[in-house]
Amino acid sequence: MSRGLVFDVQRYAVHDGPGIRTLVFLKGCPLRCAWCCNPESQQARPEPMRRPALCAACRTCASACPAGAGKRDGRGGPVLDRERCAACADFACVQACPHDAISRVGREADAGELLFEIEQDRDFYRNSGGGATFSGGEPFFQPEFLGELLAGCRSRGIHAAVETCGHARTDILLALEPSIDLFLFDLKVLDAQAHCRLTGQDNGLILDNFHRLASRCPDKVTARLTVIPGVSDSEENVSAFAGLLHETGLETVELLAYHPLGLGKWDGLDREPLLRPEPGLAASSLAEVKLRLTRQGISCR
Amino acid sequence: MTTARTETAFTPREVAASPSTERTAFLKRRYLEEPLRVDVDYLRLLTESHRRTGGLPVLERRAEDHAYALERLTPVIHPHDEIAANKTRYIRGAIPYANYAAGPFLKEMRRQVQDAQQKHVEQGRGGGIAGALERARKEGCRVFSGKFLISPQDYETLREACEYWEGKCFMSSGQRLWKARMLEAGFIEKGWAAGLYTAPHEPCPEGRLILDFETALAKGYWRMLDEIEQRLASPDRRDGRRAEFWRAAKRVLGGALAFAENYAKEAERLAAAEPDPERRKRLGRMAAACRRVPAQPPRDFREAVQSFWFTYILGHLEGSHLGYSPGRLDQTLWPYYQAGGVTYEEAVELFEELFVKMTQIEYLASLSWQGLGHGNLYQNLILGGLDERGRPADNELSLAILDAQIRMQMTQPTLSVWHDDSLSEKFLLKAAECVKTGVGYPAFFNLKTYIAHETAASGLPIETVRKHAAMGGCTEPVLQGMSYGVVQAGFVNHGKLLDLTLNDGVDPVTGDRLFEPRKPKSYEDIRASYLDKMRVSVRLWQRYWNHVMAAHRETVPLVFCSVFVRDCVGRGLCMDDGGAVLNGTPTTLSSGLVNVANSLAAIKKLCFEDKACGLGELKAALDADWKGHEALRKAALAAPKWGNDDDRADDVFLGLFDEYCRWVPGEMNYLGEPYDPSMLAISTPVPFGKACAAFPDGRRAGEPLADGVTSPFPGTDRRGPTAVARSSAKVDHTRIRGGLLNLKFHPSALRGEAGSRNLLAFIKTYFEKPGFHVQFNVVDSRMLRDAQERPEAYRDLVVRVAGFSAYWVEMSKALQDQVIWRTEHGL
């Protein structure tokens, strides 16, 4: 059994694929989206994440840190110097914190162990039409591990979905396609330059992959658009997106509303998001995008 | 996209609706604006009668006193009411049953402490309670029992009545008996002081009772009277004991008919004086109904509702009930609805009024019991289920009842669903819609589990169990119209037993010694010591209650209610004498086992497996309430916990649960049947927790215990609701009468029809495993925090507590915190 890097497993997940699902989050992503709501999913290695709300500023973590990464910020609050942090094997700061204010994000997991956990809710999947969803990060970033998880689901008769940003090697994507029941294909920005600026990667590969999957197995592809106020909700972007769907023959889209839930996590990682969209606009922005797409013959879920 | 918490706005509940008509909107508004009041009328009349009925045999005396009061109670028909009869003269009124327990009332008047539990129990302050306090200041009234308005004149009446009943009431008779006859009486009293038991239960000993409404409606009182007359004319009359019951039954039915007739007259009087022709017509219709029922069978749906309501209220008036329930109203009324006469919308509107009327019944008892009940009388209306032959029983009235509560969102009756896979999808989706309003009902119960329990426990045929299965009280199944309803509703606090185990038999809070010292060395020693203490505490509690029930039989036997419980009339025995078909309903209740299991699992892990600390060190940390022992507490919190489908904790729970279930039936109840094991919660986790020291599972001193029966301790269920369900389903629920699993969902987890279907799939899967009960709070915790800060904006917010829902603003702060604290699933 191969091992991979996972940062969370959520049971009774109901927003990513049909029915009641177990959601496995694989850690590591090729994109660096400026608004990312799971910034802890980006790095392909375990890292400590602080929970500032629980922190009592007792500095126990700083004294425990073998690398001396415990620091204070300008206002005297505790921060971790990420340059120094060596993500030591036993996460000394996490062990030491008496207030549970630092947690370790990311663990090496065995595919067999995850499949065992996925199997626990088999009856819930059966009665709800659910299954497992592999999300991230970018699941295709760990192809062997993902392949083993998918094969495991297949042999157990469990419906398997993969949520992807599409930035993956095409040969891997196509090789794993037969063991995937559903692709949740998350698109953001269609303009190549803007995509590069906002995510750090060109979207050529993503669009190419999208076309290939849509022509090869259209029934298995759910296109999703993350509606980020001021980023992906512009008229041009929405029209381009509608155009893409028309080209590929897909007629429905799942809209994902931006939510600011990830902002606290950026803090906990001692990082600053490149973009802080206005959360108050999320609802109206979503409604507007929905209207535009509907007008262009795309049905929204 | 994944989850975390945000500090910004909260997500509202998905389903919002409002009353069907202006009339029912008015009824709800009126309810919300009224203060709570004491109504002394019934007690005054009962006392007046009791003064002159000395010498009558006890059943006849009880019947005479109740009937005397029924004949003389003032009939009050409030503006816009279309269903006649109320328990009190007020919109929100409570009767002080001094004939049950005068002591607590007198103690309040004398400014004495009522009982040892009082200090652990809090009441709410907002809503109608605030209204009562404010009006008391303005109108020169008094506030009684912390929340009821009472005029100075009524206060005097109450005082006189209480003084009359002081030595005669059920409570004082019982105390004379058990304190003199029970060798271990001192243990019970020390147990109360330590918080091992809930407060003395005489102020509200009964309920969990559902009358035989089917017969009451189908036969009518006249025919029932005829049948009693025939028995009195038969040779059986020579059996003095049976004849006494029949004479009493006849008397009390006579009183009940006079009560209905008084309402007919009042409706006629109001109709004659009514200028508005539409209202006059409606009053006329009400008067005609009161002339017809409950004497004769109803001719249409409205009369059927009126007939049900008369019997319901008449039974309610007789006793100091908690858990007295309407039962399977969708089945009881179905034949009358089928006969036609009302549209679906008209039926919904009538139910809306009915539910306001049920919520209007308030409950006045000792402060401890008021705090435990939080003003709810646990009136449980259960829908769906199966018919006698095993076919799905949900019908259009099941939908109408759900629709009525979706639109009204009253705290009572609490709705339940007898779940079976064969129920229609339409009905189940409607039930899910009701859950999504956030009111916390319907609760879902697995019918198969109960059938297995009851057929085994009672030996009754499966057809009977299917047809009569209902819920009497929060989560205790009984057979409608055929079960004994005077039951021990007091609880044993498992958490306190743990305190006593860890402190060598001494209560760490009061310093009282309850058990001989015993120095446990191994994990097995600790577990054995805990179980021994559980066994002693349970057995003495059962024996104590058997003595109390002997006094119940001699002071306040239920006569009217017995007439409507099969087969009291046939056997010529009231319920207190074993007249009911099913006498196995008295339970021994307990709560708090999850914390004990978590604590034992932590001791095992920390002290014996990991050897992270010794027992002495752990004890020192508990004595210090974990202060200065943060690292150890962290390890304790990380130890295996119930609710994560982790056998290391779950097996501990299951082992303790088995021992409890094996031990409880070893004692016979006062009717000679084995006590039935049960676990419930009501509001006990808060006061029970308040009475307990810190626990090895990481819980701090005074914090509430885990809610429900199989609900995880808040914050310790880290693997989502399916893992909770898998842990909970490991419990063999067929062994107990009752069970309770609370889950809290964020509204977004149930969004849309897909969300409803997922919820139903969740319930179906849990019940396949098989679980017994589950109920949901669907609310964003941030909204609840906002409601704590701005109560004025949330007057009609309802949340689920345990086997009941309550208005948020009328809950105590401690209970509010407990609901917020519960783990919220899905975002």
Residues B822 and B64: their CA atoms lie apart, in Å, by: 49
Q: CA-based Rg of chain B, rounded to a whole angstrom?
A: 26
Phi, psi of B714 (to 5 degrees): -50, 135
Q: Which residues of B touch A256 (CB under 8 A)?
A: 1
Report how many domains make up chain B: 1
Burial of A297 (0-12, 13-18, 19+ CB in 10 A): exposed
| DSSP per-residue codes, B763-795 | HHHHHHTT--EEEEEE--HHHHHHHHH-GGGGT
Token pair in block for residue B330: 């969708």
Residue B2 touches partner A, C-beta closer than 8 Å: yes
Distance from CA of A208 to the nearest CA of B (A): 23
* C-beta separation of B382 from B328 below 8 A: yes
Facing residue for B758 by CB, picked from A8, A14, A98: A14
Residues 6+ apart with CB under 8 A from B650: B597, B642, B727, B730
**pLDDT for B3 beyond 60:** no
Using the beta-carbon criterion (under 8 Å), do B749 and A12 form an inter-chain contact?
A: yes
Using the beta-carbon criterion (under 8 Å), do B764 and A18 form an inter-chain contact?
A: no
Q: Which residue has the tokens 């022509």?
A: A215
Omega into A143 within 30° of 0, i.e. cis? no
Domain limits at B54?
22-169
Using the beta-carbon criterion (under 8 Å), do B6 and A259 form an inter-chain contact?
A: yes
Give residue B129's pLDDT band: very low, low, confident or very high (50, 70, 90): confident
Task: Give the start-end residues of each E strand in B218-318.
Answer: none
Give a yes or no: residue B670 inside a domain: no
pLDDT tens track for B672-700: 999 999 888 888 888 999 999 999 999 99
Give residue B513's pLDDT band: very low, low, confident or very high (50, 70, 90): very high
Distance of CA B657 to the CA centre of its chain: 22
Q: Which residues of A touch B3 (CB under 8 A)?
A: 10, 261
Give me the catalytic one of B122, B206, B303, B476. B476
Residue B825 touches partner A, C-beta closer than 8 Å: yes
More confident residue, A50 or B351: B351
Show which of residues 690-749 on chain B sit within 8 Å of chain A, judged by CB atoms: 719-723, 726, 748-749
Residues 6+ apart with CB under 8 A from B126: B791, B808, B809, B810
Closest by CA position to A133, among listed A236, A257, A8: A8
Closest by CA position to B405, among listed B439, B357, B432, B428: B439
* C-beta separation of B48 from B272 below 8 A: no
Give residue B488's pLDDT band: very low, low, confident or very high (50, 70, 90): low
Q: Which residue of A has its CA nearest to B720?
A: A11
Distance from CA of A128 to the nearest CA of B (A): 5
Task: Report, as an integer, the average pLDDT of A128-132.
Answer: 97
Residues B804 and B824: their CA atoms lie apart, in Å, by: 19
Closest by CA position to B329, among listed B409, B249, B417: B417
Closest by CA position to A67, among listed A42, A47, A53: A47
**pLDDT for B80 beyond 80:** yes
Q: What is the pLDDT of residue B386?
A: 98
Closest by CA position to B206, among listed B691, B670, B798, B705: B670
Residue B425 touches partner A, C-beta closer than 8 Å: no
Q: Which residue of B has its CA nearest to A134?
A: B1
Facing residue for B8 by CB, picked from A18, A128, A260: A260
Rounded to a whole number of angstroms, the distance between the first and last alpha carbons of chain A is 38
pLDDT tens track for B627-675: 999 989 999 999 999 999 999 999 999 999 999 999 999 999 999 999 9
**pLDDT for B124 beyond 60:** yes
Give residue A280's pLDDT band: very low, low, confident or very high (50, 70, 90): confident
Q: Which residue has the tokens 């008036």?
A: B317
* C-beta separation of B367 from B342 below 8 A: no
Using the beta-carbon criterion (under 8 Å), do A226 and B721 form an inter-chain contact?
A: no
Q: Which residues of A touch B726 (CB under 8 A)?
A: 120
3-state SS of chain A: helix, strand, coil percent to 5?
Answer: 40, 20, 35
Phi, psi of A249 (to 5 degrees): 80, 5
Q: Are strands B742-745 and B824-825 parallel, antiparallel or unpaired?
A: parallel
Over pLDDT 90: what percentage of chain A? Answer: 71
Q: Which residues of B touch A126 (CB under 8 A)?
A: 765
Over pLDDT 70: what percentage of chain B? Answer: 98
**pLDDT for A60 beyond 80:** yes
Residue B754 touches partner A, C-beta closer than 8 Å: yes
Residues B56 and A149: their CA atoms lie apart, in Å, by: 80
Cα-based distances in Å from B748 to A264, B232, B717, B827: 20, 63, 19, 6
Q: Which residues of B touch A7 (CB under 8 A)?
A: none
3-state SS of chain B: helix, strand, coil percent to 5?
Answer: 55, 10, 40
**pLDDT for B559 beyond 60:** yes
**pLDDT for B814 beyond 70:** yes
Counting one residue from chain A and one from chain B, the pairs whose CB atoms sit within 8 A come to 94
Residues A154 and A148: their CA atoms lie apart, in Å, by: 10
Q: Which residues of A touch B826 (CB under 8 A)?
A: 12-14
Q: Are strands A299-300 and B37-38 parallel, antiparallel or unpaired?
A: unpaired
Give residue A261's pLDDT band: very low, low, confident or very high (50, 70, 90): confident
Show which of residues 8-27 on chain B sit within 8 Å of chain A, judged by CB atoms: 8
**pLDDT for B5 beyond 50:** no
Using the beta-carbon criterion (under 8 Å), do A38 and B1 form an inter-chain contact?
A: yes
Handedness of CA B93, B98, B99, B100 (dihedral sign): positive
Task: Classify domain A3-44+106-300 by CATH architecture.
Answer: Alpha-Beta Barrel (3.20)
Facing residue for B762 by CB, picked from A98, A100, A124: A124
Using the beta-carbon criterion (under 8 Å), do B722 and A20 form an inter-chain contact?
A: yes
Q: What is the pLDDT of residue B4?
A: 32
Distance from CA of B64 to the nearest CA of A (A): 57
More confident residue, B125 or A183: A183
More confident residue, B819 or B486: B819
Using the beta-carbon criterion (under 8 Å), do B723 and A25 form an inter-chain contact?
A: no
Give a yes or no: residue B509 inside a domain: no
* C-beta separation of B649 from B726 below 8 A: no
- Amino acid symbol at B259: F
Give residue A281's pLDDT band: very low, low, confident or very high (50, 70, 90): confident
Task: Report, as an integer, the average pLDDT of A123-143.
Answer: 96
**pLDDT for B1 beyond 60:** no
| DSSP per-residue codes, B456-502 | HHH---HHHHHHHEEE-SSS-EEETTTB--B----EEEHHHHHHHHH
Determine how many CB atoms are found less than 10 A away from the CB of residue A71. 14
CATH class assigned to A48-105: alpha beta
Task: Report, as an integer, the average pLDDT of B158-182.
Answer: 96
Task: Report, as an integer, the average pLDDT of B110-123.
Answer: 84
Task: Report, as an integer, the average pLDDT of B130-136.
Answer: 86
Using the beta-carbon criterion (under 8 Å), do B1 and A14 form an inter-chain contact?
A: no
Task: Report, as an integer, the average pLDDT of A185-214.
Answer: 96
Q: What is the pLDDT of residue B302?
A: 97
Distance from CA of A12 to the nearest CA of B (A): 6
Show which of residues 584-643 on chain B sit within 8 Å of chain A, judged by CB atoms: 630-631, 633-634, 637
Q: Which residues of A touch B722 (CB under 8 A)?
A: 11-12, 20, 120-121, 124
* C-beta separation of A38 from A25 below 8 A: yes
Q: What is the pLDDT of residue B421?
A: 96
**pLDDT for B812 beyond 90:** no
Residues A222 and A209: their CA atoms lie apart, in Å, by: 13
CA dihedral B621, B623, B627, B630 (to 10 degrees): 20
Facing residue for B721 by CB, picked from A12, A127, A128: A12
Residues A36 and A13: their CA atoms lie apart, in Å, by: 19
For residue B589, the cross-strand partners are: B491, B678
Q: Which residue of B has its CA nearest to A20?
A: B758
Using the beta-carbon criterion (under 8 Å), do B3 and A260 form an inter-chain contact?
A: no
Of how many residues is chain B composed? 827
Q: Which residues of A touch B (CB under 8 A)?
A: 8-16, 18-20, 23, 25, 37-38, 98-100, 120-121, 123-124, 126-130, 135, 226, 256, 259-265, 279
Q: Which residues of B touch A105 (CB under 8 A)?
A: none
Residue B764 touches partner A, C-beta closer than 8 Å: yes
Q: What is the pLDDT of residue B527?
A: 97
**pLDDT for B156 beyond 90:** yes
Distance from CA of A11 to the nearest CA of B (A): 5
Determine how many CB atoms are found less than 10 A away from the CB of residue B396. 15
**pLDDT for A124 beyond 80:** yes
For residue B806, the cross-strand partners are: B799
Burial of B610 (0-12, 13-18, 19+ CB in 10 A): exposed
For residue B777, the cross-strand partners are: B744
The DSSP letter of residue A135 is E
Task: Report, as an integer, the average pLDDT of A51-74.
Answer: 85
Determine how many CB atoms are found less than 10 A away from the CB of residue B516. 8
Report the alpha-carbon angle B92-B97-B103, nearest 5. 125
pTM of this prediction? 0.94
* C-beta separation of B411 from B161 below 8 A: no
Domain range summary for chain A, segments of one domain joined by +: 3-44+106-300, 48-105
Q: CA-based Rg of chain A, rounded to a whole angstrom?
A: 20
Phi, psi of B590 (to 5 degrees): -155, 165
For residue B418, the cross-strand partners are: B384, B445
* C-beta separation of A127 from A21 below 8 A: no
Residues B451 and B462: their CA atoms lie apart, in Å, by: 7
Token pair in block for residue A126: 């059966």
pLDDT tens track for B716-741: 998 999 999 999 999 999 999 888 99
Q: What is the pLDDT of residue B7?
A: 37
Omega into B35 within 30° of 0, i.e. cis? no
Q: SS3 for B625?
A: coil
Determine how many CB atoms are found less than 10 A away from the CB of residue B56. 17
Q: What is the pLDDT of residue B13?
A: 78
Omega into B770 within 30° of 0, i.e. cis? yes
Q: SS3 for B267?
A: helix
Give me the catalytic one of B474, B561, B607, B613. B474
Q: SS3 for B197?
A: strand
Task: Report, as an integer, the average pLDDT of B597-623.
Answer: 96
Token pair in block for residue B511: 């310093």
More confident residue, B639 or B146: B639
Using the beta-carbon criterion (under 8 Å), do B4 and A265 form an inter-chain contact?
A: yes
Using the beta-carbon criterion (under 8 Å), do A123 and B765 form an inter-chain contact?
A: yes
Facing residue for B723 by CB, picked from A11, A99, A263: A11
Closest by CA position to B447, among listed B417, B488, B405, B484: B417
Give a yes or no: residue B409 inside a domain: no
Task: Report, as an integer, the average pLDDT of B540-566.
Answer: 95
Task: Report, as an integer, the average pLDDT of B323-327.
Answer: 95
Q: Which of B758, B769, B774 best probes binding to A when mutated, by most A CB atoms within 10 angstroms?
A: B758
Using the beta-carbon criterion (under 8 Å), do B825 and A135 form an inter-chain contact?
A: no
Give a yes or no: residue B92 inside a domain: yes
Distance from CA of A2 to the nearest CA of B (A): 24
**Catalytic annotation on B476?**
yes
Mean pLDDT of chain B: 93
Closest by CA position to A285, among listed A258, A246, A250, A252: A258
* C-beta separation of B143 from B133 below 8 A: yes
